[in-house]
């Protein structure tokens, strides 16, 4: 098939490269000229394991090209994928203006009828509204399908090529057949496609992220309770996760969820309920608990320094919202570092991928804020170490080197991965979340 993908961000680029690798001829578009120039040079503008090689291979094969507007060939695309951003507005609702801008481009440029597949995460009813826009403005018959993405940052290629499910929301059998044909290479080993109507597909995306966010917030609340009553959150996790009705995934306590999806989608779902007269109390509680968890991490840090943080030097390991990404959008470390600086601390930070993005988004380098390529260098003269993101090279550190480099001995483990090392016996003042 000839396919055009609007948007070269995380979802758009993974989708474009993945579809090209499945044998389709793909044009990936973006209005950002600098971004397209970078991609044409073979440089991926964000970190995702394996994506650079996938893009390069399909560019060499002529299956993947980049542009800022539709070319003559792709005005006759078989499918147009919409993968543009839907960021939160000031009131927390999703901004879908970019989606309808793509609709206007398709209406004005398409040379024949085609499928319009919605990859962007959009409020329920957006696909219906886009269909109405295209019916009104496009001279050719366009069939809008909801096709939400379920890509985990850091493991996106695995999720694309071996998905748990491919959700297709359609209103007619012809569109279903076309979408099934597009994803046929993913169906060789097992049936992965689940078909429903468009509104159900749109809601499925929000519901999935809200459910995962709720599990995280639930465990974080239990971890705070464990700290008070002397229980161990790791034991509780194993105990409840062994029940097949619950399962072990997303039951790890930490500093709260972040990233580009969960905070935005939970907020959008809450507002979708409010706009339709339905109060989603569980979803609202998950969001409130997540904000409380970030404050709790700061309380843990402050508890280690009863005389205050002013004048203290704090090393922070991990800035991305999760390992294997350079994404710092709504990262828990952002809120913590900003508060440390506001309280007069000096921060020495290390992250293997996200430092540049973090400096731009939260705290530029300066006298009170420094970034270090090597994790142990960030510890020199530090009064405390805060672990915020559990990159693999943090899992088994050299605690003797840590002790030798630090001025103080406080360790605040927001991911609770170092409890097994019995750090109090090694001369550290150690605190974690939900465990000792």
Catalytic residues: 261
Tell me how long the chain is: 436
Kindly write down the DSSP assignment for every residue of 197-265, as one continuous string.
-HHHHHHHHHHHHHHHHHHHHHHHHHHHHHHHHT--HHHHHHHHHTSTTT-STT----S---TTTHHHH
Quote the tokens at residue 219.
Answer: 């465990």
Quote the tokens at residue 85.
Answer: 């951003």
Secondary structure percentages of the chain, helix, strand, coil, to 5: 45, 15, 40
Angle at 336 between CA 331 and CA 340, to 5 degrees: 150
- 3-state secondary structure at position 316: strand
Q: Give me the helices (H) in 119-170, please.
A: 126-137, 156-161
How far is it between the farthest Cα atoms of the chain?
Answer: 74
Residue with tokens 């008070």: 228
Smallest CA-to-CA distance from 81 within 229, 182, 171, 203 is with 182
Query: In the chain, count of helices (H) and strands (E)?
Result: 14, 14
Q: What residues are paired with 29 via a beta bridge?
A: 6, 67
CB 305 within 8 A of CB 383: yes
Neighbours of 429 (CB within 10 A): 15
């Amino acid at each position: 098939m000839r396919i055009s993908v609007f948007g070269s961000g995380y979802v758009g680029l993974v989708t474009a490269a993945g579809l090209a690798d499945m044998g389709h001829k793909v044009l990936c578009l973006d209005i950002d000229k600098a971004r397209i120039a970078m991609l044409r040079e073979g440089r991926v503008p964000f970190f995702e394991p394996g994506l650079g090689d996938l893009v390069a291979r399909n560019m060499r094969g002529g299956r993947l090209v980049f542009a800022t507007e539709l070319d003559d060939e792709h005005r006759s695309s078989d499918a147009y994928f919409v993968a543009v951003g839907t960021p939160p507005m000031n009131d927390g609702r999703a901004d879908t203006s970019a989606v309808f801008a793509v609709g206007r481009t398709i209406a004005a440029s398409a040379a024949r009828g085609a499928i319009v597949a919605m990859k962007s995460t959009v409020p329920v009813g957006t696909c219906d509204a886009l269909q109405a826009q295209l019916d009104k403005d496009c001279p050719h018959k366009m069939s809008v399908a909801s096709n939400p993405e379920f890509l985990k940052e850091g493991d996106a290629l695995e999720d694309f090529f071996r998905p748990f499910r491919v959700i297709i929301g359609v209103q007619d059998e012809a569109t279903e057949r076309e979408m099934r044909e597009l994803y046929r290479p993913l169906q060789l080993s097992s049936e992965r496609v689940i078909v429903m109507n468009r509104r159900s597909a749109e809601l499925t995306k929000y519901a999935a992220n809200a459910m995962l966010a709720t599990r995280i917030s639930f465990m974080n609340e239990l971890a705070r309770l464990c700290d008070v009553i002397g229980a161990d959150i790791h034991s509780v996790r194993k105990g409840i996760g062994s029940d097949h009705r619950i399962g072990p995934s997303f039951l790890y306590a930490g500093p709260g969820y972040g990233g580009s999806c969960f905070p935005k989608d939970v907020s959008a779902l809450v507002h979708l309920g409010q706009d339709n007269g339905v109060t989603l109390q569980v979803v609202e509680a998950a969001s409130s608990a997540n904000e409380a968890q970030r404050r709790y991490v700061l309380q843990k840090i402050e508890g280690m320094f009863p005389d205050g943080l002013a004048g203290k030097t704090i090393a922070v390991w991990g800035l991305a919202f999760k390992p294997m990404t350079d994404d710092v959008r709504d990262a828990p470390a952002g809120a913590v570092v900003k508060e440390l600086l506001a309280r007069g601390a000096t921060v020495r930070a290390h992250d293997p991928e996200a430092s540049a993005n973090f400096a731009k988004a939260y705290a530029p380098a300066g006298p009170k804020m420094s970034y270090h390529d090597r994790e142990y260098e960030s510890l020199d003269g530090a009064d405390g170490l805060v672990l915020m993101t559990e990159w693999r090279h943090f899992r088994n550190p050299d605690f003797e080197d840590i002790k030798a480099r630090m001025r103080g001995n406080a360790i605040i483990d927001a991911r609770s991965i170092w409890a097994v090392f019995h750090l109090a016996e090694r001369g550290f003042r150690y605190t974690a979340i939900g465990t000792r």
